Structure 1
Amino acid sequence: MGGVNAEQALIDHLVATTGLPPTEAGRVIEDVVAYFDEPVEAYVRRRHSQLKTYGAKNDAIFAQLAEELRARVVAAPRLTERQLRRLIYG
């Protein structure tokens, strides 16, 4: 990369592979980083609320949350069902 910071290299890659203008590519990167910057506790609470809205039961929700957390790009720590419950209910 020789003197180009990683952020600029990523912007250049998106511009080359998608045809997006540099400013738009930068905005997309910022959006993706912000999405994955959500703290685990906030993610668990938000997703629990979303899944409850659609009628899911806690046993299924906790299993799904554990799976989703393992699959995140920047992996969250493994949390037990008890830890997930504590994040939601205190």
Structure 2
Amino acid sequence: MYVDPLLLRHVQESSGLDAAQAQRLVQDVLAFHEESVEEWVRRRHAELKTYGAKNEAIFARLREELRQTVVAPPELSERQLRRIVYG
């Protein structure tokens, strides 16, 4: 798993952790948020359904929660990346 060196340095400096501890911490947090959007939506839908929520309320809640949830980005092709950059 790639970890941005600037993020590692920031975590080290702001927390007082040594390099190895900062690396483990960042990798653990990133692993926690490794779920794709599709996986996250399916999991949350099943969780909310378990508590008796109805789809209309579930989908509204999922939209709101996704605005604040970190999930793994989708895999983008080189063509998709180029379109983002160049339009």
**What TM-score results when the alignment is normalised by the length of structure 1?**
0.60
| Cα RMSD after superposing both structures | 2.5
Alpha-carbon displacement from aligned partner over 1:27-70 (angstroms, at most 9, x marks no partner) = 22112222333111111011111222233222211111111223
Counting matched residue pairs gives 71
Q: 2: CA distance between counterparts of 1:74 and 1:39?
A: 6
Secondary structure of the corresponding residue to residue 24 of structure 1: helix
Q: Which residue of 1 aligns with 2:42?
A: 45
Gaps of 5+ in 1: 1-5, 77-90
Q: Which one scores higher on RCO, CA 8 angstroms, separation ≥ 6?
A: 2
State, as a whole percentage, how many aligned pairs show the same letter: 52
**What TM-score results when the alignment is normalised by the length of structure 2?**
0.62
